[in-house]
Chain A
């Protein structure tokens, strides 16, 4: 099959005026000078608005008396596809099952949010948060105290008005 070639018709050299195109371009420039559309976010003075389903570092919910809500059922380490949760269960002095050790390796975590989804007592959450910088790698294994201290908003994994996606 022969290749069809489209021949562009151009004005002859030296007989072209760029005035019209220049004016068209400048009109856009002047329009933005009068009515500007701002794109740049002046972070960190300004913070971005995160999606309600943003999945960032974890947060452990606590009871009013400061105990973690976690009951050490072991579902989050079981469901975690990255195997980043370490949990050792035990019994506290009031006979409640609680996590003696609860650690999440945030480097290993892939932020899928399945731990939050599987949690039967709504204890572990992924959060709407992204500022995680540290001075050392070792600080990225979050222990229970650290997870309880986190106070950023938690993620909505589903639409509250339609929780079962019906």
Chain B
């Protein structure tokens, strides 16, 4: 769009009797949305081009000879639009009836049931009973490879999936085969979607249950799932996602729209890696003592003991953080190091790195980054240095042999053996899972994963983004910002932070890189570091 310094032009039109002013170039569908009217649509998707082929978004425009597809008709001055006139309604009912000619109506066994647009629209406006007498044509299902299954009978031929692969993934692997009622979506010969990096998005954009995820197949009903806004934990791009949870287990990850970060999309790698959040074998209770002296304690007892040891500890401190931890937790660990009497000798984290980045050609902002952890940038900003190799292993030899104070946060030390920290005068392990290397720890404190707490990450674009609690943690696990915040507060003689926003406020006060940020300003969409200061 050419912008010659003029004010953005607007047009004023009437939709369903209500006057609305929208920028020039807005489609009728979006204009109607701004007055709260959802015009049914299948082929139109805000992230794709609009071919206007599904014919269900037709609306009546006064003066036009025929009904107009609202997804491609641009709003014009003085237009009078009726989305709910008898003509528009009759047309929608007719179009829906055509969609149901061959639709199997197998909602009870369809994974999309409950979030299906065909179901919604037919329930709203469709006929109560079908009039079809002929048998429906049957295709059965087709394995498209990767994580995608195709049920041809349910398909409404909106071609969103074909257009996604053509326009956004720029990897034309899907096409429409045959014509008329025999038309199906198919792959080319024996080459399917396997190996494609963003193909999982076709499942999200399918308005009906034609494309379903193999991983999610028959796992849960859509209406049983709780949706929690979160951040993808699988690379440092930090795609905005929703955790879909049931029975305190993550069932799937879905992208959440954020045009600054990931648009409507997310990568298949991020989508598939959530099982670690459901892994059993979590640390259940705080424990004190090494080896055979190990016994469980309650939090009060453990923290009081630990506080006494920390306040008395003299030697140098080695801090091992993790880029899977929130900013608040890492800042708390750093602050604890600062408050101790000894010098902070080491302040490191380890993170696995992929060999290369995987960009999404049609939406260049979205890149599967090399760092396969969510908060590598946050850890860097908070003063932690990366160590170890690209597998996220090694690099801890110096820490392992450290003779004084070692504090490990969130790193499960999977590659370390039972000698880790054997010489340490004080070894504190804050983690989520049991670890062989924590055998020498004087204190083992269970903390929550990112899905079980509120907090924030900094992504590779240096953007601070918040995530929310979606799961109930094991009974005794506490957020790391709370545990570390309590210790720091006790050493400083101040009040313990009682919430994640409070912990974030303390982080902002202590770290100039975060200057000017507030929990509210970060909001659900996140905010770029430095942007706030520039505006303010």
- Identify the A interface with B (CB < 8 A): 71-75, 78, 89-91, 95, 97, 120-121
How many Å lie between the Cα of A75 and that of B224 in the bound state? 10
The reply to whether B218 and A97 contact each other, CB–CB distance below 8 Å, is yes
The answer to whether A97 and B109 have CB atoms under 8 Å apart is yes
Chain B residue numbers with a CB within 8 Å of A75 are: 108
Give every chain A residue within 8 A of B217 (Cβ-Cβ): 91
Identify A91's interface contact among B218, B221, B223, B224, CB under 8 A.
Answer: B218
Top 6 A-B pairs, shortest CB-CB distance: A73-B108, A74-B221, A97-B109, A89-B218, A120-B108, A71-B109
Smallest CB-CB separation from B222: which chain A residue?
A74
Chain B interface residue count: which class? 10 to 19
**Contact between A78 and B224, CB atoms less than 8 A apart:** yes
Mind listing 9 A-B residue pairs with CB under 8 Å?
A72-B109, A73-B108, A73-B109, A75-B108, A78-B221, A89-B218, A90-B218, A91-B217, A120-B108
Take A78-B224, A95-B141, A120-B108 as given contacts and tell me if A89 and B219 are in contact as well, using a CB distance cutoff of 8 Å.
yes
Q: Report how far A73 CA is from B209 CA in the complex, Å.
A: 14
Which chain A residues border B221 with CB–CB below 8 Å? Answer: 73-74, 78
Is B113 in contact with chain A by the CB < 8 A criterion?
yes
Instruction: Output the nearest chain B residue to A97 by Cβ-Cβ distance.
Output: B109
In the bound complex, CA of A73 to CA of B107 (Å): 8
Minimum CB–CB distance from B316 to chain A (whole Å) comes to: 53
The B interface is mostly helix, strand or loop, or mixed, namely: mixed
User: Once bound together, how far apart are the Cα atoms of A4 and B141, in whole Å?
Assistant: 87
Closest to B113 in A: A73
Residues of B within 8 A of A89 (CB): 218-219
A71 touches B108 (CB 8 A): yes
Asked if residues B218 and A72 are in contact (CB atoms below 8 Å), the reply is yes
A134 to B224, CA, bound (A): 33
Distance A89 CA – B216 CA, assembled complex (angstroms)? 11
The distance in angstroms between the C-alpha atoms of A107 and B109, with both chains bound, is 29
In the complex the two chains form, what is the Cα distance from A71 to B104 in whole Å? 15
Closest CB in chain A relative to B332 CB, distance in Å: 40
Contact B224 A74 (CB under 8 A): yes
Digitize B129-154: 1 where CB-to-A-CB distance is under 8 Å, 0 elsewhere: 00000000000010000000000000
CA distance A120 to B217 in the complex (A): 20
Q: Which of B290-335 contact A (CB under 8 A)?
A: none
CA distance A69 to B109 in the complex (A): 12
Closest residue of chain A to B223 (Cβ to Cβ) is A78
CB distance from A100 to the nearest CB of B (A): 9
Q: How far is the CA of A91 from the CA of B217 in the complex (A)?
A: 8
Task: Say how far A99's CB is from chain B's closest CB, in angstroms.
Answer: 10
State whether B224 touches A121 (Cβ < 8 A): no
State the Cβ distance, A139 to closest chain B Cβ, in Å: 25
What distance in Å separates the Cβ of B193 from its nearest Cβ neighbour in chain A? Answer: 20
Q: Which residues of B contact A71 (CB under 8 A)?
A: 108-109
A106 to chain B minimum Cβ distance, whole angstroms, is: 22
Bound complex: CA A95 to CA B109 (Å): 11
Q: Which residues of A contact B218 (CB under 8 A)?
A: 72, 89-91, 97
Please measure, in the bound complex, the distance between the C-alpha atom of A130 and the C-alpha atom of B219, giving whole angstroms.
Answer: 35
Give chain B nearest CB distance to A130 CB in angstroms: 30
What residues of B have a CB within 8 angstroms of the CB of A78 in the complex?
Answer: 221, 223-224
Query: Could you say which residues of chain B place their CB within 8 Å of the CB of A120?
Result: 107-108
Closest residue of chain A to B109 (Cβ to Cβ) is A97
In the bound complex, CA of A71 to CA of B221 (Å) = 13
Chain B residues with CB under 8 A of A74: 221, 224
Chain A residues contacting B224 (CB-CB under 8 Å) are 74, 78
Distance A15 CA – B224 CA, assembled complex (angstroms): 82
CB-CB nearest in chain B for A72: B218
Residues of chain B in range 199-244 having any CB-CB distance to chain A below 8 Å: 217-219, 221, 223-224
Query: Which chain A positions have C-beta within 8 A of B141?
Result: 95
Query: Once bound together, how far apart are the Cα atoms of A78 and B114, in whole Å?
Result: 12
For the complex formed, measure the closest distance between the CB of B101 and the CB atoms of chain A, giving whole angstroms: 21
Complex interface residues of chain B between 86 and 141 (CB less than 8 A to chain A): 107-109, 113, 141
Q: List, in ascending order, chain B residues with CB within 8 A of A97's CB.
A: 109, 218
14 further interface pairs, Cβ-Cβ under 8 Å (given A73-B107, A97-B218): A72-B109, A72-B218, A73-B108, A73-B109, A73-B221, A74-B221, A89-B218, A89-B219, A91-B217, A91-B218, A95-B141, A97-B109, A120-B107, A121-B108
Q: How far is the CA of A48 from the CA of B223 in the complex (A)?
A: 42
Residue of A nearest to B141 (CB): A95
- Chain A residues in 8 Å Cβ range of B223: 78
In the assembly, what is the distance between CA of A116 and CA of B81, in Å?
46
Residues of chain B lying within 8 A (CB to CB) of residue A121: 108
Q: A73 CA to B112 CA in the complex, in Å? A: 11
Query: CA of A121 to CA of B109 in the docked complex: distance in angstroms?
Result: 11
A78 to chain B, nearest CB (A): 7
Query: Closest B-chain residue to A75, C-beta based?
Result: B108
Residues of A within 8 A of B113 (CB): 73
Measured CA separation A71–B108 after assembly (Å):
7
- Give chain A residues whose Cβ lies under 8 Å from the Cβ of B109: 71-73, 97
